[in-house]
Amino acid sequence: MKDGCSESKLSVDVLMPSVYEELRRLANRYLLGERPGHTLRPTALVHETYLRLANGCTEWHDKLKFLAAAASAMRHILIDHARAQGRQKRGGRPKKVTLDETLAVGEGDLPGLLDLDEALQKLAQHDERKSRIIELLFFGGLTYDECAAILNISPVTLYRELKAAKAWLYHELAPAARPA
């Protein structure tokens, strides 16, 4: 196939087997907290990630850059799925919760995936790198050293910016900060 993207597709095909189990583990972690009967499964999430990456014309030169791209793709897949299921941030279909879950979690309005995505988008408007750090660590499952290498910063700088990003997100996602 001579479509100009065949080399990058080959790269995805070469890289994917080496990171498949790692992506599957991440997908399991993301979907662990979802409600029973959730329609997206870890294998489907990994396969959808593969399809999105394989359809692009990007070539990755190492495993870390590929994992960073996979992290971003997984984030967008999860957000798209949440929106498609009608679990909008405020409004939409109400979330069904059993009495036991209410007692275990409490009555506070905990932020969900869509809240986190919105907060990360706001953070990116202020500081793209801090938003990317959260994305790589949370959605990519990368270590601090791996994340620092991708962003070409020192681990000390990464830790300092991560602290600031967490504080900003905490403030943004705190129940008092969200309108009722």
Query: How sure is the predictor about 25, in pLDDT bands with cuts at 50, 70 and 90?
Result: confident
Distance of CA 112 to the CA centre of its chain: 12
The answer to whether 55 touches 33, Cβ cutoff 8 Å, is: no
Q: What share of the chain is helix, strand, coil (3-state, %, to 5)?
A: 70, 0, 30
Given a cut of 70, whether residue 48 has pLDDT beyond it is: yes
One-letter identity of residue 141 = G
What pLDDT, on a 0 to 100 scale, did the predictor assign at position 11? 66
Lowest mean pLDDT of 19-23, 28-32, 89-93, name the range. Answer: 89-93
The answer to whether 113 touches 78, Cβ cutoff 8 Å, is: yes
Tens of pLDDT, residues 138-173: 888 888 998 999 999 999 999 999 999 999 999 998
Burial class (CB in 10 A: 0-12, 13-18, 19+), 65: middle
Nearest to 15 by CA among 56, 81, 32, 29: 56
Tens of pLDDT, residues 75-121: 888 888 877 776 444 454 444 443 333 333 333 444 577 888 889 99
Query: How sure is the predictor about 35, in pLDDT bands with cuts at 50, 70 and 90?
Result: low
Report which of residues 178 and 160 the model is more confident about.
160
Report which of residues 61 and 158 the model is more confident about.
158
What pLDDT, on a 0 to 100 scale, did the predictor assign at position 157? 96
What pLDDT, on a 0 to 100 scale, did the predictor assign at position 38? 64
What pLDDT, on a 0 to 100 scale, did the predictor assign at position 155? 94
What pLDDT, on a 0 to 100 scale, did the predictor assign at position 37? 61
